[in-house]
């Protein structure tokens, strides 16, 4: 995919702090502290967040393309949506 100058600058600006900017671990820990999700649910969410960070590290070693950045964004959005669902279901089980 051809990256325009503006898209490249946006990637450079966001790519260096991408894993930290997600804030997934912090959001999950806060949900546990507020008893909105169980420890079991949090473990699964933390595992998924760790996988995203590992994927980011693999991508970042070669340089992050637009499609890789979008893949990471989609995965983070999916984890965030699941966290929201887990907060609402109150069943203590994952999924």
CA angle, residues 63, 19, 7, in degrees to nearest 5:
45
Q: Are 21 and 66 in contact (CB under 8 A)?
A: no
pLDDT in tens, 17-49: 555 657 899 999 999 999 999 999 999 999 999
Q: Are 36 and 87 in contact (CB under 8 A)?
A: yes
- The predicted pLDDT at position 76 comes to 92
Q: Which residue has the tokens 């997600």?
A: 22
- DSSP code at position 65: -
- Is residue 1 predicted with pLDDT exceeding 50? no
What is the torsion angle, in degrees rounded to the nearest 10, for the CA atoms of residue 66, residue 68, residue 69 and residue 74?
A: 120
């Amino acid at each position: 995919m051809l990256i325009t100058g503006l898209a490249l600058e946006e990637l450079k600006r966001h790519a260096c702090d991408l894993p930290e900017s997600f804030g997934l671990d912090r959001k999950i820990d806060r949900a546990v502290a507020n008893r909105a999700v169980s420890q079991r649910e949090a473990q699964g969410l933390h595992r998924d967040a760790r996988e995203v960070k590992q994927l980011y590290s693999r991508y970042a070693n070669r340089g992050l393309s637009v499609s890789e950045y979008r893949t990471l964004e989609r995965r983070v959005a999916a984890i965030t949506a699941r966290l929201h669902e887990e907060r609402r279901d109150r069943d203590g089980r994952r999924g």
